[in-house]
Amino acid sequence: MTDRKTKRRSTEWFGKADKDGFAYRSWMKNQGIPDDHFDGRPVIGICNTWSELTPCNAHFRDIAERVKHGVLEAGGFPVEFPVTSTGETLMRPTTMLFRNLVSMDVEESIRGYPIDGVVLLVGCDKTTPALLMGAASCDLPTIALSGGPMLNGVYRGERIGSGTHVWKFDAMVKAGEMTLEEFMGAEACNARSPGHCMTMGTASTMASMVESLGIGLHTNAAIPAADSRRKVLAQMVGRRIVDLVNKDVRMSQIMTREAFNNAVRTNGAIGGSTNAVIHLLAVAGRLGIDLSLDDWHTLGKDVPCLVNLMPSGEFLMEDFYYAGGLPVVLREMGENGLLHKDALTVNGRTIWDNVHDAECFDRSVIHAFGDPFKDQGGIVVLRGNLAPQGAVLKPSAASPELMQHRGRAVVFETIEDYNARIDDPDLDIDESCVMVLKNCGPKGYPGMAEVGNMALPAKLLQKGVTDMVRISDARMSGTAYGTVVLHTAPEAAAGGPLALVQDGDQIELDVAGGRLHLDVPDDELERRQAGWTPPPPHFPRGYVNMYVNHVLQADEGCDLDFLVGSSGAPVARDIH
> Which of 28, 62, 69, 89 is the binder for ligand FES (CB under 6 A)?
89
Q: Candidates 195-203, 281-289, 414-422, 497-505 — which segment interacts with ligand FES by CB under 6 A? A: 195-203
Smaller CB separation from ligand FES, 309 or 429 = 309
Smaller CB separation from ligand FES, 11 or 51 = 51
Shortest distance, CB of residue 125 to ligand FES, whole angstroms? 5
> Contacts with ligand FES in 150-179 (CB under 6 A)?
162
Q: Candidates 193-201, 227-235, 433-441, 481-489 — which segment interacts with ligand FES by CB under 6 A? A: 193-201
Instruction: Decide: is 88 part of the binding site for ligand FES (CB under 6 A).
Output: yes
Write the single-letter amino acid at 97.
L
| 9, 64, 65, 256 from 243: Cα distances, Å | 15, 18, 19, 20
Instruction: Decide: is 450 part of the binding site for ligand FES (CB under 6 A).
Output: no
Q: Candidates 171-179, 197-205, 516-524, 544-552 — which segment interacts with ligand FES by CB under 6 A? A: 197-205
Smaller CB separation from ligand FES, 223 or 500 = 223
Shortest distance, CB of residue 206 to ligand FES, whole angstroms? 9
* Helical H segments across 450-519, by residue range: 458-462
Smaller CB separation from ligand FES, 122 or 382 = 122
Measured in Å, how far apart are the chain's first and last C-alpha atoms?
22
> Which of 104, 145, 197, 480 is the binder for ligand FES (CB under 6 A)?
197
What whole-number distance in Å separates Cα of residue 47 and Cα of residue 108? 12
> Which of 74, 97, 124, 209 is the binder for ligand FES (CB under 6 A)?
124
Write the single-letter amino acid at 43.
V
Instruction: Decide: is 196 part of the binding site for ligand FES (CB under 6 A).
Output: yes
Instruction: Decide: is 203 part of the binding site for ligand FES (CB under 6 A).
Output: yes
Name, in order, each residue with C-beta under 8 angstroms of 497's C-beta and a sequence gap of 6 or more.
385, 386, 387, 388, 490, 518, 525
Residues paired with 489 in a beta bridge:
390
Query: Do residues 44 and 79 lie in contact, with contact meaning Cβ atoms separated by under 8 Å?
Result: yes
CA 189, 191, 193, 197: dihedral to nearest 10 degrees?
Answer: 140
CA 197: distance to chain centroid?
Answer: 12
Instruction: Decide: is 201 part of the binding site for ligand FES (CB under 6 A).
Output: yes
Instruction: Decide: is 193 part of the binding site for ligand FES (CB under 6 A).
Output: no
Smaller CB separation from ligand FES, 56 or 133 = 56
Instruction: Decide: is 332 part of the binding site for ligand FES (CB under 6 A).
Output: no
Residues paired with 79 in a beta bridge:
45
Q: Candidates 28-36, 196-204, 241-249, 372-380 — which segment interacts with ligand FES by CB under 6 A? A: 196-204
Using only C-alpha atoms, the chain has a radius of gyration, in whole angstroms, of 24
CA 329, 334, 337, 340: dihedral to nearest 10 degrees?
Answer: 110
Instruction: Decide: is 63 part of the binding site for ligand FES (CB under 6 A).
Output: no
Q: Which of 117, 146, 127 is nearest to 89 (CA)?
A: 127
Shortest distance, CB of residue 366 to ligand FES, whole angstroms? 22
SS3 493: helix
Q: Which of 366, 370, 375 is nearest to 308 (CA)?
A: 366
Q: Which of 392, 408, 419, 382 is nearest to 474 (CA)?
A: 392
Instruction: Decide: is 125 part of the binding site for ligand FES (CB under 6 A).
Output: yes
Binding residues vs ligand FES (CB under 6 A): 56, 88-89, 124-125, 162, 196-197, 201, 203
